[in-house]
């Protein structure tokens, strides 16, 4: 059957695919729109597969908090170029996927991919976007945090987002929580406190400390003690509660929070960067 310009435009409006792709799909499908959409989707799958090894170092972070501020959800949608990250359709898709994540709170990114956005699963929607845009697109992160108060912070440009949970709060907790969130964004701690640091990281830092001391000519029986001192410095620089507060380096984050309200604590945080 003859494929008209109106048919091509209709399919383009339905799918967002390019004009030539829509025309080819309609010709192959003999004018059947459902089949044409399936052809375009398959094309998207092929594009997605062919770009699976590409790096997605651009994108955006999206955050939604509950009205009572006791829970927040964060996702990052990643792509290959800043141009695509700023695209209106990309931003809309990120918000739609965030809304699904917020409503259903799936257990993992993989579970999130299987949830529906309209008539498609999240995975199918992303595949369609890949087919239309021609870049690798994927969910880079998905985080849910709960607490007495959860503060969210998205850095300018939406490339970096932070969630931080507080307990035993008072009326000043929101401002304090924002200060802590900005600290996390700037200083990138690897853990909340010393006990949260992975043992492999501790072992690595101890070994580095020993090797540095040995290279400086320190006696063998002093290496562990020197390495422990270096590890303690590592904790101060890389664990949130032991970091010096950027706005007042005379106090740690733990001390700053406790000074705001005795007994108030940071219980958890998540930091997501699309370039990480």
Is there a domain that residue 158 lies in? no
DSSP 247: T
Q: pTM of the full predicted structure? A: 0.84
Same-domain pairing of 33 and 97: no
Same-domain pairing of 137 and 58: yes
DSSP 159: S
Is there a domain that residue 136 lies in? yes
Neighbours of 255 (CB within 10 A): 15
pLDDT of residue 193: 98
Domain C-terminal end among 117, 146, 175: 146
Burial-class residue 121 by CB neighbours within 10 Å (0-12, 13-18, 19+).
Answer: middle
CB 160 within 8 A of CB 272: yes
User: Three-state SS for 62?
Assistant: strand
Same-domain pairing of 57 and 131: yes
Same-domain pairing of 35 and 105: no
User: Three-state SS for 225?
Assistant: helix
Is there a domain that residue 89 lies in? yes
Is there a domain that residue 256 lies in? no
Domain total of the chain:
2
Same-domain pairing of 85 and 9: no
CATH code (residue 78): 3.30.479.20
Domain C-terminal end among 113, 146, 179: 146
pLDDT in tens, 152-202: 999 988 999 999 999 999 999 999 999 999 999 999 999 999 999 999 999
Same-domain pairing of 15 and 76: no
CATH code (residue 14): 1.10.8.10
Tokens of 47: 């594009």
Same-domain pairing of 72 and 112: yes
Domain C-terminal end among 127, 146, 165: 146
pLDDT of residue 46: 75
User: Three-state SS for 28?
Assistant: helix
Is there a domain that residue 234 lies in? no
Same-domain pairing of 79 and 131: yes
Which is it for strands 244-245 and 160-167: parallel, antiparallel or unpaired?
A: unpaired
Same-domain pairing of 141 and 92: yes
pLDDT in tens, 102-125: 999 999 999 999 999 999 999 999
Is there a domain that residue 195 lies in? no
Is there a domain that residue 265 lies in? no
Is there a domain that residue 137 lies in? yes
pLDDT of residue 11: 86
Same-domain pairing of 136 and 65: yes
Same-domain pairing of 39 and 61: no
Same-domain pairing of 32 and 63: no
Domain residue limits at 105: 53-146
pLDDT of residue 276: 54
List the chain residues with pLDDT less than 70. Answer: 276
């Amino acid at each position: 059957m003859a494929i008209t310009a109106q048919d091509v435009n209709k399919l383009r409006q339905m799918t967002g695919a390019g004009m030539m792709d829509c025309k080819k799909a309609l010709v192959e499908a003999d004018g059947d729109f459902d089949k044409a959409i399936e052809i375009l989707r398959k094309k998207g799958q092929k594009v997605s597969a062919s770009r699976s090894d590409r790096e997605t170092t651009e994108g955006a972070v999206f955050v939604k908090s509950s009205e009572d501020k006791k829970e927040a959800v964060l996702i990052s949608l990643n792509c290959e170029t800043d141009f695509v990250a700023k695209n209106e359709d990309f931003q809309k898709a990120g918000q739609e996927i965030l809304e699904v994540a917020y409503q259903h709170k799936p257990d993992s990114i993989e579970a999130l991919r299987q949830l529906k956005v309209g008539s498609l699963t999240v995975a199918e929607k992303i595949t369609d976007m890949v087919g239309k845009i021609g870049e690798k697109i994927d969910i880079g992160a998905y985080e849910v945090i709960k607490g007495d108060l959860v503060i969210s912070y998205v850095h300018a440009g939406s490339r970096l987002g932070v969630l931080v949970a507080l307990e035993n709060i008072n009326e000043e907790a929101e401002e304090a929580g924002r200060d802590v969130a900005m600290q996390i964004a700037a200083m990138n701690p690897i853990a909340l406190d010393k006990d949260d640091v992975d043992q492999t990281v501790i072992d690595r830092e101890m070994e580095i400390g020993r090797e540095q001391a040995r290279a400086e000519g320190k006696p063998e029986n002093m290496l562990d003690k020197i390495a422990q001192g270096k590890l303690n410095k590592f904790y101060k620089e890389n664990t949130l509660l032991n970091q010096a507060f950027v706005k007042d380096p005379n106090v740690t984050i733990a001390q700053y929070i406790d000074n705001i309200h005795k007994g108030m604590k940071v219980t958890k945080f998540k930091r997501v960067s699309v370039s990480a």
